[in-house]
Every structure is written in structure tokens, then in C-alpha cells.
Structure 1
């Protein structure tokens, strides 16, 4: 028993020390979003805990919408939908032009789960636009995509697990259009070795900090023409996939 109590004491001490270091580190960096217990703010710089907080919105539709409201993001909520036992959504919305968002989606009528919309907002603000300005000196005005909701299994196969698209918890990004007319597509530019490829890799890497899953052409041939971004809920472990 004495050994057990000593072990518990050591574990508690290590946990306290780790929490103290995390608080100090967050204070030094000036990023409250490094701390898992601080409220999520879509307008705050991305921190170490931001991705987990965004994924956690899966169970809080009202809280997710409130975050979008506070950030000045315009949207239209969609009615719940059920197409099959494992297909449908309760928390989907459609981002609309104007307000705090300056990037249009093409097609514009795409609906997505609220946690995806919240992560998309931060991705546009903190990753996509800065990368475009640094790389090309011109902002992104449009993001092309292949859609969100689709009642199907992974890779469209009947024998595999259900896709996050089946609950509108995913969005597939095809490319970007800049204000100066430049067009960048995943299919054509991912491996060209130039500025467009560098930009695409930067926005992929940035997405990995915000989405539960980020898959690119580096993952497999099924993703040769798009970036798959989703907010899969993986329980208390919350591991993230980035490739």
C-alpha cells in the first residue's frame, strides 16, 4: 500500500507540474487557446487545444452557432435530415457571403455540420489568407469544393465504415481562386514543385491543426484531386489524422 500511495503521489505531482508548465507556456506565448479549459474563440490565434475544442462542438450545436455569431459569420441553419439509419444530420448550416467572411464557396449552396463550418472559418482567416498573401501577394476570394453531405461509406464502398460525409462532417476542397485571377487546384498543382504547390502544402498543414482529419494526395490516389477535411469524433482519445 505504501508503494501504491507513493506512486499515486508521484503521478499527481507530475500531472500538477505538467499543468503548471502548460499554463506558464500559454502565458508566455500569449495564446489562451493552448489551454484545453479556456473557452473557444474563433477570432483568437490557433493554439495547441484549438483543434480539440472545434471537434468537441459536435455535441453542442447551440454553442457552435453562438461562436459563429460572436465572430460575425453569417449562415443559414438547415432542417434536420435523415436518409438512412447512419445518414443525416441535426446540426448543419450553410455559410453565406458577407459579414466577417471574405471568401466565397463554390458551389455556394453547400451545407455542412457546424463544427466543420467553425473550423473552415478559422482555416480561412488564420491559414488560407495569410498563406496566399505571403506566397502570391493576393487574397483568396473563392474556395472550390466537391461537397459535404453524401450518404455513403468510406471511398464509396459497401463493405467499409461510414464516411464522415454521411453526416455532413466533412468537406472536400478542390482548389482556390485569388483576387488577381490566379487559380490553384489540388489535381493540377499539388506536385508541380512551384509556388502553387507550396501554397497547397501550407494550407494542408494548417488544416491539420483545426480538423480531426486532413487527407491530401499524399495519402492515397482517392485524394489525388482534393483535400478531405473532417471533424470526426474519436472520443476521449481524440487522435488526429494528418497526411
Structure 2
């Protein structure tokens, strides 16, 4: 009994030291986003716990919308959708609107996503996509092309697997990026075999998404993702489990 109590005390002490180390690291580097207990701020860089914090927004749509508003993101709150199946539909859909600090277009048309996905997209664009575009091409991204978000279906479109994150609008599929100088960077054509800058850009924005979304799937994952990136804010992200392929 005494040895068990001593082991518990050592475990508590080790956890306290770990938390103190996190706090010291974050304070010394002025990176509060690297602490698990600080509030999410879309204007701050991606931190160690950003994906977990974004996944947690799914429990509080009002807090998520307030977060977008504070960051200067203009959006329209969409009416709830009830799916044809019990596990389909959403109640926290938002659609980006023009103006504000967000001026990028989503093509072929505005897309409705669950609010946590909107928060993740905004943070990813500002802190990952635009800096990468400036480094590799010297211009900003003016539009992002997508294959959509909400779709009442199972994973990979059918079969006996579980329901897709698309079934609740908690996912989006990104197929290409349009630059301000009219160049187009497409996942299908440029992921492998494109020129160095285009391929490097796509891999950088894929890798950067892994710190923002709970699940990131690219052409490296399987043939079903040969022409797009799949991003979702799966609830697993809040517990530290993430997929980045």
C-alpha cells in the first residue's frame, strides 16, 4: 500500500513538472497557443493544442461563432439541416461571406461547413496557406477550390464502414488553389510530378493542416484521395489522436 501511494505521489509530481515545463516554454517564447488551457485565438499561430481546441468547439456553436466574429471573419449562420439518416445533418453550419479580414473565395461556390471547420479553415489559411504561397510563388492565394462538405454518406462513399465526417458537415475536401496571378495549383496534377515549387507548396499546406484539423488525408493515404485533401475536425482530435497522411 505504501509503495502504491508513493508511486501515485511520484506520478503527480511528474505531471506537475511537465505542466510547469509547458508553461515556462510558452511564456519564454511568447506562445500561449502551446498551452492546453489557454483560449483558442484565430489570430495567433498554430500551437501544440490547436487541433484539440478546435475539435472542442463542436460542443458550443455559440462560442465558435463568437470566435469567428472576434477574428474578423464575416459569415452567415445557416439553418439546421436534418439528414435522411439519423446520423446525418448539422445544427451549426456557417458560410463565409465577403469582406472583413477574410477575402478569399471558395469555388465553385460558397460552401456550408460546421462552425469548427470554418474556424480551422480560417486559421489554416492565414497561418499556413498564405505564408507558404508567398514563400514559394511571391503572391497570395486568392481562391481555394473544393469538392464540398456536407454529404449524408458513409466513409469512402459506402460499404460497411462508419459514417463519414461529411455526414455532419465536419469535413471538407480541397482540390486546388488559385493564386492572385491566375496560376492554379491542383492536387491531382501537382502532388507528384509537378515542378518543385508547386509540389513543395502542396506538401507544406498539407503538413500545416495537420496541426489544425483532427484528420488530414492526402494522395499519400490512398487512391480515393488522389485528387484532393480531406480535412475534418473529428472529435478524436480533442483527445490527442490525430491522423495525418
TM-score (norm 1): 0.98
1:159 is displaced (CA, Å) by: 1.2
After superposition, what is the alpha-carbon deviation per residue over 1:92-145, rounded to whole angstroms, capped at 9, x for unaligned?
111112211131111233100000000000000000000000000010000000
- Aligned structure 1 segments of 4 or more residues deviating by more than 6 angstroms: none
Q: Which residue of structure 2 lines up, in the alignment, with residue 19 of structure 1? A: 19
Q: Which residue of structure 2 lines up, in the alignment, with residue 183 of structure 1? A: 184
Distance 2:52 2:238 in 1: 10
Distance 2:32 2:121 in 1: 20
Q: Which residue of structure 1 lines up, in the alignment, with residue 148 of structure 2? A: 147
Unaligned runs of 5+ in 1: none
Q: CA distance change for structure 1 residues 18 and 37 in 2, over 3 Å: closer, same or farther?
A: same
Q: Which residue of structure 2 lines up, in the alignment, with residue 65 of structure 1? A: 65
Q: Which residue of structure 1 lines up, in the alignment, with residue 168 of structure 2? A: 167
**1:224 is aligned to 2:223:** no
1:47 is displaced (CA, Å) by: 1.0
Distance 1:72 1:98 in 2: 9
After superposition, what is the alpha-carbon deviation per residue over 1:217-237, rounded to whole angstroms, capped at 9, x for unaligned?
000000000000000112763
1:51 is displaced (CA, Å) by: 1.2
Superposed counterparts of 1:8-47, under 5 Å:
8-47=8-47
Q: Which residue of structure 2 lines up, in the alignment, with residue 133 of structure 1? A: 134
TM-score (norm 2): 0.97
Secondary structure (helix, strand or coil) at the match of 1:234 reads helix
Distance 1:235 1:135 in 2: 30
Find 1:207's aligned residue among 185, 206, 209.
209
Q: Which residue of structure 2 lines up, in the alignment, with residue 103 of structure 1? A: 104
Distance 1:235 1:200 in 2: 23
Q: Which residue of structure 2 lines up, in the alignment, with residue 3 of structure 1? A: 3
